[in-house]
Copies of this chain bind each other. A is one copy, B any other.
Amino acid sequence: MDITGIMGFVLAIFLMIFGIVFNVDAGIVFANMVNFIDYPSIAITVGGTLAVLMISFPTSIFLKIPKHLKIIFMPQSFDQHAYIKMITEFAKEARIRGLLSLEGKLADVKDEFLKKSLLLVVDSIDADKVNSILETELDHIDERHHSDIEFYQKGAAFAPAFGMIGTLIGLVNMLKQMSDPDAIGPAMAVALLTTLYGSLLANIFFLPIANKLKIRHDEEMLCKMIVAQGVKSIQAGENPRFIEEKLLLMIESKKRSPRGSVEKTDKKAKALNTKKADA
């Protein structure tokens, strides 16, 4: 569960409602909420955005929205250290009992990409071919994720546009029928609502989702790259300790504070040292 993300979402909603109902003189006025709910305005903004997204993207992308929300708020953990540990153990197993011995262990592997990659190795597919298959796979995941992210980015562009269209429709209607001066204010308020809806839709829904999907994508890709690198090293029959070192370097520099403590380096230096003796 991405607690911060959910808190962020709840906080955003809460703050918008607070901004609506709070009045410096009168305190909390829940009646204000009524001013901000207008079904035709919702229809124009949310419906219009949805409609042009339906023209712009294939149907399949809409079915993925629940999955995207799940990825964002209840992400599969990509524990890089766990992956490295798993790969190191496979490497040890392969060193001691041969690559074929890995086949039996694959049943327990939950990560599809790791499983498939190892199967290629177990099946003695040529190293070059394994390399090209893994790279094609990573490229395609990258492409697919980016086109998913683009869906939300386009949504974030369409929503304020339909907000403005709604406001223009409201203004034209209001200006054409300006008989009662007292009605101008409330009519204009309603006209502005679509602009508000459009901005909220873009800034609380579409853009944060696009950003977070990008972050999740980067996390997943790092793990996938660790797996790809690890599997290639296992196939090459490299020393398990060396494989572990190499994979740790890939994430260390991601995690480590740029001006961190010296001790950690000392430890790594020693590890590299012993590795030397091993080689």
Contact = CB atoms under 8 A, between A and B. Distances in A.
Interface of A: 4-5, 7-9, 11-12, 15-16, 18-20, 22-24, 32, 35-36, 38, 40-41, 43-44, 47-48, 50-59, 67, 72, 76, 110, 112, 115-116, 119-120, 123-125, 133, 136-137, 140-141, 143-145, 147, 154, 157-158, 161-162, 164-166, 168-173, 175-176, 178, 185-186, 188-190, 192-193, 195-196, 199-200, 202-204, 207-209, 211-212, 215, 218, 220, 249-250, 253-254, 257-260, 262, 265, 268-269, 272-273, 276
Nearest to A196: B168
Nearest to A115: B265
Contacts of A23: 173
Contacts of A250: 136, 140
B15 A52 contact: no
Contact of A16 (B48, B59, B119, B158): B48
A51 B12 contact: yes
B258 A141 contact: yes
B54 A8 contact: yes
A133 B52 contact: no
B169 A195 contact: no
Given A147-B218, A175-B192, A8 B55 contact: yes
A35 B125 contact: no
Contacts of A20: 169, 173
Given A112-B262, A161-B202, 10 more contacts: A4-B59, A19-B41, A24-B38, A56-B212, A76-B259, A123-B272, A143-B254, A145-B258, A157-B207, A178-B186
A116 B249 CA distance: 12
